Amino acid sequence: MELKRDLGTGAAISIVIGTVIGSGIFLVPHDMILRVSTPGMVFFIFVFGGLLSLAGALSYAELAAAMPEAGGEYVYLREAYGPLWGFLYSWTQMWVAKSGSIATLATGFFVYLANFFPILEQVVCKIPMPGAAGAGLEVKYGQILAIALILGLGGLNYFGVRFGGDVQTAVTVVKVLLFCAIVLLGLTLGRPHAVSAATPAPLTAAGFFAALVAALWAYDGWNNVSMVASEVRDPQRNLPLALIGGTVAVIAIYIFANWAYFHTLTAQEVSATPRVAAEMMRRLVGGWGANAVSIAAMISIFAALNGSILTGSRVPYAAARDGLFFQSLAWIQPKYRTPSISIFALTLWASALIVISGGYKELFTYVIFASWILYGMAAASVIVLRKKRPDLPRPYRTLGYPFVPAVFVFVAILLVISTLLDSPRESLNGLIIVLAGVPFYWYWKKRLQKL
């Protein structure tokens, strides 16, 4: 039994836009201005991060059109470097990258909902930890709500990819319209002011790359539609269109958003609040404006969560179909034709990460470091496969080849090194989980050989 090609052009583009625009653009300008001090550098890094993501989208478009299979990067890495690297990608997505991204989005959701219900920040209980007396994991009401949201969306995606795609399209349209309204109010009602720095600290390489990590978290998800390539109709046309067109649209939205933020607020004001969009609207129209932003942010996060669960569950499913993961994850629900066990396994682990992985900033650093190691390798596979499989049909060829994928890979290497130096604990935790997959790969490979 196979997955069904039930996603059209609109759904594919909505997966890109809806999954990318989540909580990041509402929250990360605060972290970025603390690192680089000036609004001009924040703009530069958002443009740089957007162009870098576009370089990745241009590279992935060739791969997705040539190999429209479930799993996205899993397939590209498997074909370019061998099954070990494809497996490590699926392993990383399951335990770190996609599950961590889902946990981060759900955490951002409860951060905004706490604007209406402060009780969500209160601790419900403390889970004892072995070792030091008094140590333990604090569980807040908001975390319980975030877990319920993840599991609920997992249940929604159980009922078919078309249903999940329709929900994705509808919610993405609503959130883009709301976001455009917020930006328009900021640009028309905001009063120009003198440009100043948030702090007198000079710009450093570490600060630049830390801000870039935050920006790339806001852009994270541009590649997700490739994970559901086996469920997209006319993939040779629709996958490049969704990857490139969706990424360009997000870049434009983010530039206008930051223009509105810094048109209304000074750098010091942006650095003083983690809820930048809400503070802008509070300044313009009062408390109801801040509440409206919180609602818009939650709708945005809802769409990003749905898109992440819809796409991310196809990666462990693809590895399991090749015999390189838990075999139960390869099961397809007969009526709705969805990888139902893979969906629920991913959402259950993401729910656990909400409790055990730390706060919002720690989570997105954790996700970006692990993801970009394999993003870089996947983009490089465009070059590898041109040499290894020159006969592979390529309905779309990467614009600017080989310069575009080479630049993407080079910046990915710099980003990984800088993140490791700036956030060693989160980065090393992610790296350990990636490498922990190697013995499991050998176990599943030997088991496969015996069959």
Question: What number is the average pLDDT over the span 360-364?
Answer: 55
pLDDT band at 196 (very low <50, low <70, confident <90, very high): low
* Cα 354 from Cα 346, distance rounded (Å): 13
* Tens of pLDDT, residues 60-74: 999 999 999 999 999
Residue 244 predicted with pLDDT over 90: yes
pLDDT at 121: 86
Whether residue 252 contacts residue 54, with contact meaning beta carbons closer than 8 Å, is answered with no
pLDDT cut 70: percent of the chain above it: 93
At 283, the pLDDT band (50, 70, 90 cuts) reads confident
User: How much is the average pLDDT of 256-265?
Assistant: 91
Which residue did the predictor score with more confidence, 79 or 354?
A: 79
Q: What residues does each domain of the chain span?
A: 9-446
113-125 mean pLDDT? 85
402-439 pLDDT per residue, tens: 999 999 999 889 888 887 887 788 778 778 878 889 99
* Confidence label for 125 from pLDDT (cuts 50, 70 and 90): confident
Write the pLDDT tens digit of every residue in 325-358.
Answer: 999 999 999 999 999 999 999 999 999 988 876 5
pLDDT at 194 over 80: no
C-alpha 145/C-alpha 39 separation (Å) is: 35
Per-residue pLDDT at 394 exceeds 90: yes
Confidence grade of residue 92 (pLDDT, cut at 50, 70, 90): confident
Superfamily of domain 9-446: Amino acid/polyamine transporter I (1.20.1740.10)
Kindly tell me if the per-residue pLDDT of 134 is higher than 60: no
Mean pLDDT on 150-154: 94
pLDDT on residue 132: 46
Instruction: Please state whether beta strands 136-140 and 123-128 pair in parallel, antiparallel, or not at all (unpaired).
Output: antiparallel
Res 110: pLDDT: 86
pTM given for the model: 0.88
CA distance 88 to 8: 30
d(CA 398, CA 343): 32
Residue tagged 């509402």 (tokens): 26
Phi and psi torsions of 125, nearest 5°: -155, 175
pLDDT band with cut points at 50, 70 and 90 for residue 390: very high
CA–CA distances in Å: residue 78 to residues 48, 84, 88, 451 = 29, 7, 10, 21
Q: What is the pLDDT of residue 226?
A: 94
CA torsion angle 173 179 184 190 (round to 10): 170
Contact 332, 382 (CB under 8 A): no
Percent of the chain at pLDDT exceeding 90: 52
Predicted confidence at residue 146, as pLDDT, reads 92
| Phi-psi group of 131: left, alpha or beta (phi > 0 → left; psi -120 to 50 → alpha; rest → beta) | left
The reported pLDDT for the residue numbered 120 is: 87
pLDDT-derived band at 96 (thresholds 50, 70, 90) equals confident
